[in-house]
């Protein structure tokens, strides 16, 4: 009789815990959510997360706050997010840099320390110059680099960023000897290029779209597999004679032990915001392309990109 009572007591306790947990997930979220990002305010990733957060707020009914934690080559943000409570209230905004940088510099954390939520976009990576630059197409850049080896100054992200890794490989494939000048964020790269301190730069279209439309900058090639619909006259890098394609991942991840139920709430919320008028205006005007990949598909995409980066090294 005593054993039967113990078994029933334990079963009842388990059911209470399960019911409480289910109710807790059903009520999530009950307070503001922080989305941590490794780059500064005004960078392409920061802009993406603020617009995504604003759109998701209308679904989850809680504030979504972007928290910029720069420094450490991204490690400051990634470690902070990895060590956060896995309850869905601290998430991580990511780009392909979280895959590339730990391959370049040993770090205590990388993308495998997180659980994917969803990829939201792929972000066109472009090579651009001042609007009045003598470089009209990418071949002009190659010819000048060969005529003046070691004299071209290129702006890029921090040393272990996806853009920097790509630029090093492009320079190798095109047989260019160039100086790569690293910056903490794309906004700084743009300012220095406009100011005449750089010859060319690589970065995200989202970061420079306004400057391109204002006639300050000009894109001379992109790293996509195809030409961008809004810039049909701009050749891809492959069309420019350099056989190289890169499409940057943008998405969200969560601390490793975040419950699947919380992840799924975010997956459904993200899936539903692409038709939000303000969000649609953001991604169309900033020339980034919707590409929804839920948890498992995002994991496969990130694993494939890691293999891609390792193959370049």
Q: Are residues 55 and 118 in the same domain?
A: yes
Q: Are residues 188 and 259 in the same domain?
A: no
- Domain termination residue (choose one: 207, 222, 237): 222
Q: Are residues 200 and 271 in the same domain?
A: no
pLDDT given at position 129? 97
Is residue 9 in some structural domain? Answer: no
Angstrom distance (rounded) from CA 161 to CA 148: 26
pLDDT given at position 26? 66
Is residue 232 in some structural domain? Answer: no
Q: Are residues 218 and 153 in the same domain?
A: yes
Q: Are residues 274 and 297 in the same domain?
A: yes
Is residue 130 in some structural domain? Answer: yes
The pLDDT averaged over each successive group of 10 residues in the chain (313 residues) is 43 42 68 95 87 96 96 93 98 94 90 98 92 96 96 89 90 96 84 93 87 93 90 93 92 97 97 94 85 96 93 79
pLDDT given at position 25? 58
Is residue 239 in some structural domain? Answer: no
CATH code where residue 58 lies: 3.40.190.150
Q: Are residues 109 and 77 in the same domain?
A: yes
Q: Are residues 254 and 271 in the same domain?
A: yes
C-beta neighbour count of 222 within 10 angstroms: 28
Q: Which region holds residue 37: left if phi is over 0, alpha if psi is between -120 and 50, else beta?
A: beta
Is residue 80 in some structural domain? Answer: yes
Tokens of 274: 């692409």
Beta-strand runs (E) in the chain: 33-37, 64-68, 90-95, 114-123, 125-130, 153-156, 179-182, 200-204, 217-222, 248-255, 289-294
C-beta neighbour count of 190 within 10 angstroms: 24
Q: Are residues 169 and 118 in the same domain?
A: no
Angstrom distance (rounded) from CA 263 to CA 280: 23
Is residue 45 in some structural domain? Answer: yes
pLDDT digits (tens, 9 = 90+) for 47-60: 899 999 999 999 99
pLDDT digits (tens, 9 = 90+) for 202-231: 998 878 888 998 999 999 999 999 998 888
Q: Considering its fold, how many domains does the chain have in total?
A: 2
Q: Are residues 179 and 109 in the same domain?
A: no
pLDDT given at position 5? 41
Q: Is the dihedral of CA 124, 241, 139, 166 positive or negative?
A: positive
To the nearest whole number, what is the mean pLDDT of the chain? 89
Q: Are residues 116 and 262 in the same domain?
A: yes
pLDDT given at position 8? 39
Is residue 61 in some structural domain? Answer: yes
Is residue 159 in some structural domain? Answer: yes
Q: Are residues 192 and 207 in the same domain?
A: yes
Q: In what order do the strands lie in the sheet with 217-222?
A: 179-182, 153-156, 200-204, 125-130, 217-222
CATH code where residue 214 lies: 3.40.190.10
pLDDT given at position 73? 84
Q: Are residues 72 and 217 in the same domain?
A: no
Q: How many residues does the chain have?
A: 313
Angstrom distance (rounded) from CA 178 to CA 210: 27
Which residues constitute the domain of residue 62? Answer: 31-123+249-312
């Amino acid at each position: 009789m005593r054993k039967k009572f113990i078994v029933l007591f334990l079963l009842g306790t388990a059911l209470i815990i399960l019911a409480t947990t289910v109710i807790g997930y059903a009520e999530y979220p009950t307070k503001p959510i922080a989305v941590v990002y490794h780059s500064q305010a005004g960078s392409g990733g920061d802009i993406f997360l603020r617009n995504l957060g604003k759109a998701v707020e209308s679904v989850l009914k809680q504030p979504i706050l972007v928290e910029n934690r720069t420094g450490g080559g991204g490690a400051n943000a990634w470690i902070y997010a990895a060590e956060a409570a896995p309850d869905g209230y601290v998430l991580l905004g990511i780009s392909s840099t979280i895959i590339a940088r730990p391959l370049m510099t040993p770090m205590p954390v990388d993308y495998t320390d997180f659980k994917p939520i969803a990829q939201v976009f792929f972000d066109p990576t472009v090579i651009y110059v001042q609007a009045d630059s003598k470089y009209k197409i990418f071949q002009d850049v190659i010819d000048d680099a060969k005529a003046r080896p070691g004299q071209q100054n290129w702006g890029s992200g921090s040393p272990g960023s996806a853009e920097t890794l790509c630029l090093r490989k492009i320079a190798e494939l095109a047989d260019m000897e160039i100086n790569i000048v690293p910056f903490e964020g794309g906004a700084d790269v743009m300012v220095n290029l406009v100011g005449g301190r750089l010859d060319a730069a690589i970065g995200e279209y989202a970061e420079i779209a306004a400057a391109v439309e204002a006639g300050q900058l000009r894109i001379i090639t992109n790293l996509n597999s195809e030409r961008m619909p809004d810039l049909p006259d701009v050749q891809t890098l492959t069309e420019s004679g350099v056989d190289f394609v890169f499409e940057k991942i943008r998405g969200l991840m969560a601390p490793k032990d975040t419950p699947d139920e919380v992840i799924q709430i975010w997956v459904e919320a993200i899936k539903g915001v692409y038709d939000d008028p303000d969000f649609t205006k953001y991604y169309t005007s900033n020339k980034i392309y919707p590409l929804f990949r839920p948890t498992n598909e995002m994991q496969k995409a990130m694993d494939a990109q890691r293999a891609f980066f390792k193959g370049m090294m």
